[in-house]
């Protein structure tokens, strides 16, 4: 504690000292008759120590979340002392905690009379199921219960406990997206879907102010993943409205500052902080863990913007929070307006991190990117969810009531209306369209883009259950497009006769990211798995030869087969199950280097079928950048550019033999192989590929008037551009 106090003083930070935050030391019992006295003695000792450190006006929170703690201990198994299902137990605990908090306040003020006292609890809103009078009454009672601890402290309720208005000094509000729900279903009222049953945050805060007339601050708030930036925007807008109503809201505190693990699953990171935690725990007890902070750009950008609109008393000190070398993120707040790229994708942004994410996150430095996903079906009500995965990219995720999947004709009118409303609200009139799927073609009707890009990353028509309209819409897309990009040489050769401006941009690599795998770390997800390990990362679908994976595991029971990636479009029951095959599911892109670092051989066990005929696997170069030997089946876009560096095997027996050879390399062979891989990896990068694409788009926008673009598709096939191999793109 004293170390923290000294550090805070050097940095000019105000600490709110929470003296009890769940749990108890040995020998202490909430229900013991001397608990309040013992707690008061502890508070006095803390105040004495901090006064000696020069704390002039300390701020204390005696007991964190009295109401929540009492509820959790009395009705759930979340928090000690456990007695689930006992309302009487919860009420008794609440009264004892309030009595201890009051005694603690008196002890703190006896040492530092000008100390400020904070009492924090969640702010909630519960609604009853419509038409169910009993549920409505019970929901109202649950909502009212949130005030009990504050009422007890202020003497409004059970004055015999010693409560009085002076004990309710400053009110801390903990508020998250899950703080509003329906009763008795406990269905969450989702903010991102605009549930009309929700009560606006500013209304909840205004009601709290009118009830107690005490200064407030949001003591905890935050969100996870791509919702972090939009959630801060949501909260900040509420703060503005509170200011307009003269509600004395003193500030907002983000939680957590640095990403945290799950309470019950320490290996699971929530991706909820201003900084994410990247890296991995060591599998060796004598080797330290390797962790690093990665600033979450969208949240940091929103924080800086709102610090300017809602300045803190010490704005310069607050701004140092995000002064970070990885924060050159003012591309959308200053300078001339940027052309917007509206992207229609059949893949979700938070699916496997691959070509769309690699390219668009980089193109966002030159264009404002709006990534429109295919709809989420079977929603209770239509809504447009907005997410921010990285700076410069906004994801639009439509939720629709229909049952059809994908960009189905059933959804088109509603999607068109949503997109029109979005463009109108943002006053967007300078934009291009970018398609990853021809199935979204009807959404272009009524739009007036400056140009159209078709980035053909797969032969989608070859996939199982491909929509019957796909080829027809692709033909229409070729007629509309100004530029066509292909994800590999095979696709280029297949498409180049269908458009005048087809450019080959094969899969590339973020070498700096995957070279982290060479540091020798070990990911916690596979720390229990022995060696040698033969690993695969990517989507597990009809393109993966499951029989080959099974044959590999049977050939060497001493090998561990590690399969990383989501299982889609195939029955999980078809996955071979053996003691040496490990299905780890989808992992964060940030964790892939640490996973790959623990593999001895990387493999690409692709089936040879229509779905793999034109693929250019991104993992080929990622494995190479991680400096790992690679064994693949004879996929054309692997064989042609990488034969001799990637081992090619056309049968289960030859695949096993290639893995055996990779494992048995001499030190000299390992050095030679590493040098060959390094030369290939140095010849390409996603940065260069994205830059070349952006140059083509900007040249098209600058040099070709609209009238010329309308007739471009009539150009003879002989004007098709030459394909660009990886080295040319670089």
The pTM of the full predicted model, rounded to 2 decimals, is: 0.85
235 falls within a domain: no
- In angstroms, rounded to a whole number, what is the distance separating the alpha carbons of residues 664 and 59? 64
132 plus 64 within the same structural domain = yes
143 falls within a domain: yes
Label residue 243 by pLDDT band (50, 70, 90).
Answer: very high
Is 90 exceeded by the pLDDT of residue 639? Answer: yes
303 plus 418 within the same structural domain = no
φ/ψ (deg, to 5) at 624? -65, -40
CATH of residue 636:
3.40.50.2000
CATH of residue 134:
3.20.20.80
Q: Please give the DSSP secondary-structure letter assigned to residue 468.
A: T
pLDDT digits (tens, 9 = 90+) for 584-610: 999 999 889 999 999 999 999 999 999
The partner residues of 485 in beta bridges, in order of sequence, read 455, 503
268 plus 180 within the same structural domain = no
pLDDT at 658: 98
> Can you tell me the mean pLDDT for 394-408?
93
Domain count, the chain: 4
Task: Name every residue whose Cβ is closer than 8 Å to that of residue 718 and which is 6 or more positions away in sequence.
Answer: none
66 plus 78 within the same structural domain = yes
Three-state secondary structure call for residue 702: helix
> Can you tell me the mean pLDDT for 238-258?
93
Of the three residues 330, 354, 388, the one that is the final residue of a domain is 330
The partner residues of 121 in beta bridges, in order of sequence, read 173
422 plus 549 within the same structural domain = no
Strands 116-122 and 59-61: parallel
307 plus 357 within the same structural domain = no
- In angstroms, rounded to a whole number, what is the distance separating the alpha carbons of residues 472 and 477? 9
Helix (H) or strand (E) holding 456: strand 452-456
4 falls within a domain: no
1 falls within a domain: no
Label residue 521 by pLDDT band (50, 70, 90).
Answer: low
pLDDT digits (tens, 9 = 90+) for 356-393: 999 999 999 999 999 999 999 999 899 999 999 999 99
Domain that holds residue 459: 340-508+688-729
Burial of 423 (0-12, 13-18, 19+ CB in 10 A): middle
3-state secondary structure labels for all residues of 289-351: CEEEEEECHHHHHHHHHHHHHCCCCCHHHHHHHHCCCCCCCCCCCCCCCCCEEEEEECCCCCC
φ/ψ (deg, to 5) at 128? -85, 155
> Can you tell me the mean pLDDT for 148-166?
96
Is 50 exceeded by the pLDDT of residue 638? Answer: yes
- In angstroms, rounded to a whole number, what is the distance separating the alpha carbons of residues 56 and 245? 32
- Least confident segment among 69-78, 269-278, 697-706: 697-706
404 plus 418 within the same structural domain = yes
2 falls within a domain: no
658 plus 725 within the same structural domain = no
Label residue 269 by pLDDT band (50, 70, 90).
Answer: confident
Is 60 exceeded by the pLDDT of residue 723? Answer: no
């Amino acid at each position: 504690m004293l170390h923290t106090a000294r550090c805070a003083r050097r940095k000019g930070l105000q600490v709110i000292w929470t003296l009890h935050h769940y749990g108890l030391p040995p020998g202490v019992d909430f229900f013991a008759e001397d608990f309040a006295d013992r707690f008061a003695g502890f508070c006095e000792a803390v105040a004495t120590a901090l006064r000696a450190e020069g704390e002039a006006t300390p701020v204390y929170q005696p007991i964190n979340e009295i109401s929540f703690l009492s509820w959790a201990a009395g009705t759930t198994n979340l928090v000690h002392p456990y007695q689930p299902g006992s309302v009487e137990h919860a009420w008794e605990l609440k009264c004892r905690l309030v009595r201890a908090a009051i005694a603690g306040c008196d002890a703190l003020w006896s040492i530092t009379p000008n100390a400020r006292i904070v009492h924090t609890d969640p702010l909630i809103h519960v609604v009853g199921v419509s038409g169910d009078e009993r549920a409505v009454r019970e929901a109202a009672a649950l909502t009212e219960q949130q005030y009990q601890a504050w009422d007890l402290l202020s003497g409004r309720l059970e004055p015999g406990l010693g409560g009085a208005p002076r004990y309710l000094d400053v009110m801390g509000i903990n508020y998250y997206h899950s703080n509003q729900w329906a009763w008795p279903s406990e269905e969450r009222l989702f903010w991102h879907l605009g549930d009309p049953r929700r009560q606006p945050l500013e209304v909840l805060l205004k009601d709290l102010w009118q009830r107690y007339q005490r200064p407030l601050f949001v003591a905890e708030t935050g969100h996870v993943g791509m919702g972090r930036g939009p959630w801060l925007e949501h909260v900040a807008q509420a703060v503005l409205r509170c200011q307009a109503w003269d509600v004395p809201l003193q500030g907002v505190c983000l939680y957590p500052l640095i990403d945290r693990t799950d309470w019950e699953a320490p290996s699971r990171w929530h991706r909820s902080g201003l900084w994410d935690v990247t890296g991995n725990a060591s599998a060796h007890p004598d080797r330290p863990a390797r962790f690093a902070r990665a600033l979450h750009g969208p949240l940091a950008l929103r924080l800086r913007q709102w610090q300017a609109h809602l300045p803190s008393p010490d704005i310069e000190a607050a701004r140092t929070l995000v002064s970070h070398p990885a924060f050159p993120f003012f591309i959308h707040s200053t300078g001339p307006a940027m052309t917007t790229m509206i992207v229609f994708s059949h893949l979700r942004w938070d699916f496997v991190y691959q070509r769309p994410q690699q390219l668009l996150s980089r193109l966002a430095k030159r264009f404002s990117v709006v990534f429109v996903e295919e709809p989420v079906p079977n929603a209770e009500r239509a809504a447009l969810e907005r997410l921010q995965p990285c700076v410069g990219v906004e994801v639009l995720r439509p939720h629709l009531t229909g049952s059809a999947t994908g960009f189905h004709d059933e959804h088109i009118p509603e999607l068109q209306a949503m997109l029109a409303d979005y463009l109108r609200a943002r006053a967007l009139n300078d934009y291009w369209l970018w398609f990853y799927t021809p199935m979204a073609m009807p959404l272009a009707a009524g739009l007036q883009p400056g140009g159209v890009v078709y980035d053909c990353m797969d032969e989608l028509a070859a996939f199982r259950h491909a929509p019957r309209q796909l080829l027809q819409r692709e033909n229409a897309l070729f007629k509309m497009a100004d530029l066509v990009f292909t994800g590999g040489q095979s696709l280029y050769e297949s498409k180049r006769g269908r458009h005048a401006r087809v450019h080959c941009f094969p899969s590339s690599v973020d070498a700096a990211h995957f070279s982290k795998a060479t540091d020798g770390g070990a990911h916690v997800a596979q720390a229990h798995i022995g060696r040698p390990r033969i690993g695969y990362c990517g989507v597990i679908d009809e393109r993966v030869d499951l029989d080959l994976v099974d044959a590999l595991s049977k050939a060497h029971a001493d090998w561990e087969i590690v399969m990383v990636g989501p299982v889609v479009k195939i029955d999980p029951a078809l996955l071979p199950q053996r003691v040496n095959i490990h299905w780890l599911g989808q992992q964060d892109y940030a964790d892939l280097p640490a996973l790959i670092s623990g593999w001895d051989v990387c493999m690409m066990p692709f089936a040879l079928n229509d779905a793999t005929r034109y693929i250019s696997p991104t993992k080929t170069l990622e494995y190479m950048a991680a400096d790992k030997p690679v064994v693949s089946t004879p996929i054309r876009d692997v064989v042609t550019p990488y034969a001799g560096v990637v081992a090619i095997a056309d049968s289960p027996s030859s695949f096993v033999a290639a893995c055996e050879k990779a494992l048995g390399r001499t030190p000299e062979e390992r050095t030679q192989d590493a040098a060959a891989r390094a030369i290939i990896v140095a010849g390409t990068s996603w940065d260069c590929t994205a830059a070349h694409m952006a140059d083509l788009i900007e040249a098209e926008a600058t040099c070709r008037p609209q009238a010329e673009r309308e007739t471009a598709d009539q150009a003879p096939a002989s004007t098709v551009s030459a394909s660009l191999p990886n080295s040319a793109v670089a």
